[in-house]
Amino acid sequence: MASYKAPLRDMRFVYNELFDYSEISSLPGYEDATPDLVDAIIEEAAKVCENELFPINRSGDEEGCTFENGVVRTPKGFKEAYRAYVEGGWGGLTSDPKYGGQGMPSSIHVMVEEMMCSANLSFGIYPGLTYGAYQSLHAHGTDELKDLYLPKMVSGEWSGTMCLTEPHCGTDLGLLRSKAVPNDDGSWKISGTKIFISSGEHDLTDNIIHLVLARAEGSPKGVKGISLFVVPKFIPKDDGTPGPRNGVSCGSIEHKMGIKASATCVMNFEDAQGWLVGEMNKGMSHMFTMMNNERLAVGVQGLGLAESSYQAAVEYARERLQGRSLTGAKNPDAGADPILVHPDIRRTLLNIRAFTEGARATAMWVARGLDLRKKHPDEGLRTEADDFIQLMTPMVKALFTDFGFDATNAGMQVFGGSGYIRETGVEQYVRDARIAQIYEGTNGIQALDMVGRKMPAHFGRYLRRFFHPVQAFIEEHAEDESMADFVMPLAKAFGRLQRATGYLAEKGMKNPDEAGAAASEYLRLFGLVAMAYIWARAAKVAMAKTDGEEAGFYQAKLGTARHYMERILPQSSGLFSSIMAGSKTMMSFADDAF
Ligand SMILES: Cc1cc2nc3c(=O)[nH]c(=O)nc-3n(C[C@H](O)[C@H](O)[C@H](O)COP(=O)(O)OP(=O)(O)OC[C@H]3O[C@@H](n4cnc5c(N)ncnc54)[C@H](O)[C@@H]3O)c2cc1C
């Protein structure tokens, strides 16, 4: 049976040793977030995840959500766990204290988020969407809307959703048909059908606050005519308690491959009363406040599940006795050696570990950017942080979820046939991880965002926020022999990335198919280099401590960094060749030959 222990030691390494946490706790408004407090928070979060959420992960998968007469029920134990989550104040960890939140930095949130995804992804989706909806309302709602909804969303008494997708449109939201007609009192009547709505209906909260994209009467076609509305399940009374039922109902829930305890709903809006959020026809950009947050969160889902899968696989590899080590018996008293002795198993485990630790540190790098963007007194630095986040968001979403899925699959492989059997619990990780590559904009769309929007933005300004620190690090350590095993491969891969960027910038301008054809490979190349930079920095920190008190931890860190450079980063060479091959062959392939 799989088990889960939060990787607190590695989290501490990331926020306290690889990065300097005082940089965050010295920001105005974050003074309370001292390293001691961060420690206490992540320790508490670990207890909730290990003791409350993980034990209902598999039973939640077995039971799934049920739908009867418009009512959706979450699996056994979810209501109690949600109550404990709300009472613990976890819903408002980073939210604005004005609305009852604790105003903690995102760099703490990202660790809590990872633990929740590891322990019980289906559960985590409910509060995750509430937080996204909170962010959008907080950024774009009127004070009246904020005062009415945010305190209850921050406390977790009410939950949130994101209603974009319709039967005929997912990626191409310009086609959406849901419509909004003005009422005399300034509110709107919203009608239409939304599909695949996560947490659209459930029994965890007293009210559900839907953020809905719809086209107001008379608005232009396409994405320029879309507005954002808040549509509550129960219309709040003046005293803030849920009032009359609104014209929104759940038509059915989906039966799906994974995240079975997360309700995925068809939502029908029939003249439902809604209120405009932000400016008319700016709905897409307002929704992007939520979607950008969700994209980072979805990336962390890939990381979280990879971590759980890794832990289960390591435990199994230590126990399972099969075959003998190629260099002679390591466990001569027993009939066979543990499978951990076999190079192929070790390669598999190190591949996963190089990803999880690298991704955890990369996620912290981005979360640090979120904190700087929000609180740094210098406007120029806030803009720089924003540029960096814009650039990194599609990469984190797509790379982490692709790697995450591969990692869960690899973890299952370590179990042999037992991995395929439900009882061990590891096949659930594979099924749960798969959706993260699809929702919040498929990974193919993330790649297009990266090459089509983020790469050329402001004549490459976003890119420079990444290229400059990497270049500076390489130059700073070019003569340092002790770092050569890390800096040389990084420099080579970085060179490939620079050449690929130049090639795509030139070719993509002339022929957009060139950029489209190479987008996914480019995003992966970019992500591999980003993680290589992070791994090189981690190696530098670890190297100085390999003889100390925790020698084992730092030697393992260094060993994993080496594995990344030797076994994973070389993929950059193949990706570079694919990118340079251009689009001609695929685009000239006859349609009817497919
Ligand atoms: C379990 C689950 C939960 C979900 N939760 C939510 C939710 O809470 N709220 C919500 O609004 N939606 C939600 N979704 C919907 C999800 O975001 C969409 O399914 C996803 O964005 C893809 O849209 P689609 O399914 O319509 O695929 P399509 O848009 O039809 O795409 C099909 C394929 O074509 C590719 N493609 C499409 N357009 C292009 C293009 N221009 N260039 C290159 N390739 C392209 C895509 O990458 C994809 O591979 C959820 C979906 C699922 C399955």
Q: Quick one: pLDDT band at residue 7, thresholds 50, 70, 90? A: very high
Hey, which of 165, 178, 201, 446 would you mutate to test ligand 1's pocket, going by the most ligand atoms within 8 Å of its Cβ?
A: 165
Q: Quick one: pLDDT band at residue 148, thresholds 50, 70, 90? A: very high
C-alpha 170 to ligand 1 mean position (Å): 5
Amino acid 322: pLDDT? 96
Amino acid 239: pLDDT? 85
Ligand 1 contact, 512 CB (< 6 A): no
Radius of gyration of the chain from its Cα atoms, rounded to whole angstroms = 24
Helix or strand run (H / E) with residue 291: helix 283-319
Tell me the pLDDT of the chain averaged across its residues: 96
The answer to whether residue 415 scores a pLDDT higher than 90 is yes
Ligand 1 contact, 520 CB (< 6 A): no
C-alpha 122 to ligand 1 mean position (Å): 19
- For residue range 319-372, what is the model confidence (pLDDT) as tens digits? 999 999 999 999 999 999 999 999 999 999 999 999 999 999 999 999 999 999
- For residue range 347-358, what is the model confidence (pLDDT) as tens digits? 999 999 999 999
| Its pTM surpasses 0.95 | yes
C-alpha 174 to ligand 1 mean position (Å): 13
- For residue range 65-103, what is the model confidence (pLDDT) as tens digits? 999 999 999 999 999 999 999 999 999 999 999 999 999
C-alpha 163 to ligand 1 mean position (Å): 13
Name the residue at shortest CA distance from atom 22 of ligand 1: 170
Q: Quick one: pLDDT band at residue 197, thresholds 50, 70, 90? A: very high
Ligand 1 contact, 170 CB (< 6 A): yes
> Could you give the percent of the chain with pLDDT greater than 70?
100
Bridge-based pairing of strands 188-198 and 226-232 is unpaired
Name the residue at shortest CA distance from atom 23 of ligand 1: 170
Q: Say how many residues make up the chain.
A: 594
Numbers of helices and strands, H then E, in the chain: 19, 11
Q: Which of 292, 137, 154 is nearest to 229 (CA)?
A: 137
Q: Quick one: pLDDT band at residue 132, thresholds 50, 70, 90? A: very high
Q: Quick one: pLDDT band at residue 2, thresholds 50, 70, 90? A: confident
102 vs 2 pLDDT, higher one: 102
Q: How far apart are CA 241 and CA 275, in angstroms?
A: 17
Ligand 1 contact, 441 CB (< 6 A): yes
Ligand 1 contact, 443 CB (< 6 A): no
> For ligand 1, what atom is nearest to the CA of residue 256?
1
Amino acid 287: pLDDT? 87
> For ligand 1, what atom is nearest to the CA of residue 170?
26
Ligand 1 contact, 162 CB (< 6 A): yes
Amino acid 290: pLDDT? 77
Tokens 């959420």 -> residue: 53
Q: How far apart are CA 396 and CA 295, in angstroms?
A: 8
Amino acid 22: pLDDT? 92
Ligand 1 contact, 436 CB (< 6 A): no
- For residue range 479-530, what is the model confidence (pLDDT) as tens digits? 999 999 999 999 999 999 999 999 999 998 899 999 999 999 999 999 999 9
Task: Report yes or no: 132 and 297 within 8 Å, Cβ to Cβ.
Answer: yes
C-alpha 559 to ligand 1 mean position (Å): 39
Tokens 């404990």 -> residue: 84
Amino acid 293: pLDDT? 82
User: Which residues are tagged catalytic?
Assistant: 440
Amino acid 294: pLDDT? 86
Q: Which of 30, 42, 65, 143 is nearest to 375 (CA)?
A: 30
Q: How far apart are CA 98 and CA 102, in angstroms?
A: 9
Amino acid 357: pLDDT? 98
Hey, which of 122, 196, 435 would you mutate to test ligand 1's pocket, going by the most ligand atoms within 8 Å of its Cβ?
A: 196
What's the mean pLDDT in 404-417? 98
Q: How far apart are CA 212 and CA 230, in angstroms?
A: 6
> Could you give the percent of the chain with pLDDT greater than 90?
97
C-alpha 445 to ligand 1 mean position (Å): 9
